[in-house]
Amino acid sequence: MLRDTNFLAGVGDNLASRNAVWGIMRPATITGDRSMLHRAIPLFLFALVVAYAALLLSTFFMGIWLIDSQGQAVATDFIAFWAAGKLALQGHAVDAYNWAIHKDVATQEAGTAFTGLFTWQYPPTFMLVTPLLALMPYPVALLVWMGLGIGLYLAAIRLSQGNWHASVAALAWPAVFWNVVVGQNGFLIAALLGGGIALIEKRPALAGILFGLLTFKPQFGLLIPVALIAGGHLRVVGFAGVGAFLLAGVSATVFGVDAWTAFVDSAGRINSAILSEGRTQFSELQSLYGYARTLGFASPVAWSAHGLLCVVLCGMVVKLWRDEAGFDIKAAALASATILASPYSFIYDLVALAVPLAFLGRSGFSIRELATIAIAGILVGWGPAEHIPTGLTAALLVLGLVIARMVGSQASPAQRQSDPAS
């Protein structure tokens, strides 16, 4: 999204302890006799959640989040959704893809001014949600959006791992804070991805519907059909296809076919601005493509590197979903690979990294794994960095946990017992 990156930087500059923001998943079944750690981790995770709430309140009273010191709304990424909803209510959904008109509506209706652009770049299917938000004042709508998102996110985590510790840990995952700060859709992505994967075997129809809804952000659906076909879950594929088709049909009926034409045109301009020109800074992109561009490599080289990564991820997903590996490992692999395969992802999108951790956490974590998760959490909590691919490294660390579990599951019992740290 083309947006005013000074807002996120401003929040970051006011968080003196942001390098301490990190989270881990489900401590309830840590292997080995670690009773003190067993008791301490849930308390620490809860303290992190409280700290996030305190940080949000402090930014609110400092006038840098939600409402400024003059009583005006503070524009964040969410204003793109809200303004698109306003245009849809006015019967001008097509104009949401006109950057100038969209910004004019955002500033006039919200009563705020901002530099740069918060563009609407989603398919008309997502616009079916935004008019409901636009019925409320901007600050209220943002809070409602975040509240609903968190509820859906926690519901997906409960499906992935029915344990209250997991819910606390999911809230403590630092991408949660970044997503709330900018009012983005990271919670919805995590909910649809995690819920869809969790329901593949038990409720294939519902799983397919959730995957169909995820098409509002198609870059996060690259590997899902690959895994489903490899695993023989063709019913899920069918329901996903039908669901996505019906959703597109409804949006075309409500907003007109011209809205889809405008979306396709806008998508090309957005991709050029962000992926080619780097108008939001390549270091903001938490992908291998973004990191390669940050290092100064030309677009063809960056695409080649990212394409190679996708081929490797695809091969891993196919192998796992065709084999008799445990479902938790399959699910965690698909979720983490889905995040890494997207060339277009930001720090708030990494809320979804809690999904693979939730699946892995069903059988508990070793001390070594907890340390790895802590490092990943610190990197995500640090946020985008110019010289360090924080989000990309965190996602690779989570994928490394999945691979280690996969290798460990194939080892003999004698081999597993010989490693006391596992």
Q: Helix, strand or coil for residue 184?
A: coil
Tokens of 283: 């270091």
**pLDDT at residue 163 in the model:** 73
For residue 130, count other CB atoms closer than 10 A to its CB.
Answer: 25
Specify the range with the lowest mean pLDDT, choosing from 135-149, 201-215, 273-287, 403-417: 403-417
Give CA–CA dist 371/274, Å, rounded.
34
What phi and psi values does residue 36 have, to the nearest 5 degrees? Answer: -65, -45
**Would you say residue 179 has pLDDT above 60?**
yes
Give CA–CA dist 300/265, Å, rounded.
22
**Would you say residue 89 has pLDDT above 80?**
yes
Give CA–CA dist 236/371, Å, rounded.
36
Task: Give the pLDDT confidence of 331-354 residue by residue, as tens digits.
Answer: 999 999 999 999 999 999 999 999
**Would you say residue 25 has pLDDT above 60?**
no
Report CA-CA distances (Å) from 166 to 233, 261, 299.
27, 42, 40
Q: 280-284: list long-range contacts, CB under 8 Å, 24+ apart.
A: 280/1, 280/2, 280/3, 280/5, 281/5, 281/384, 283/384, 283/385, 283/386, 283/387, 284/5, 284/346, 284/347, 284/384
**pLDDT at residue 29 in the model:** 45
C-alpha count within 13 angstroms, C-beta hemisphere, residue 327: 11
The residue among 338, 352, 326, 329 whose CA lies nearest residue 404 is: 329
Task: Give the pLDDT confidence of 92-106 residue by residue, as tens digits.
Answer: 999 999 999 999 999
In the structure, what pLDDT confidence band is assigned to residue 67 with cuts at 50, 70 and 90?
A: very high
Q: Which helix (H) or strand (E) holds 250?
A: helix 234-255
pLDDT more than 70, % of the chain: 89
What is the average per-residue pLDDT within 391-410? Answer: 95
Summary mean pLDDT of the chain? 90
- Angle, in degrees to the nearest 10, between helices 138-160 and 164-172: 130
Give CA–CA dist 305/89, Å, rounded.
43
Task: Give the pLDDT confidence of 36-52 residue by residue, as tens digits.
Answer: 777 788 899 999 999 99
What is the average per-residue pLDDT within 132-139? Answer: 97
Domains of the chain, by residue range, sit at: 5-406
CB neighbour burial string for 152-187, b if at least 16 within 10 angstroms, e if fewer: bbbebbbbbbebebbbbbbbbbbbbbbbbbbbbbbb
Q: Which of 10-14, 69-73, 142-146 has the highest mean pLDDT?
A: 142-146
C-alpha count within 13 angstroms, C-beta hemisphere, residue 47: 8
pTM above 0.85, yes or no: yes
Strand partners, 73: 67
Q: Where are the alpha helices (DSSP H) in 27-116?
A: 35-61, 78-89, 99-110
Residue at token pair 């809200």: 82
**pLDDT at residue 34 in the model:** 58
What is the average per-residue pLDDT within 229-252? Answer: 98
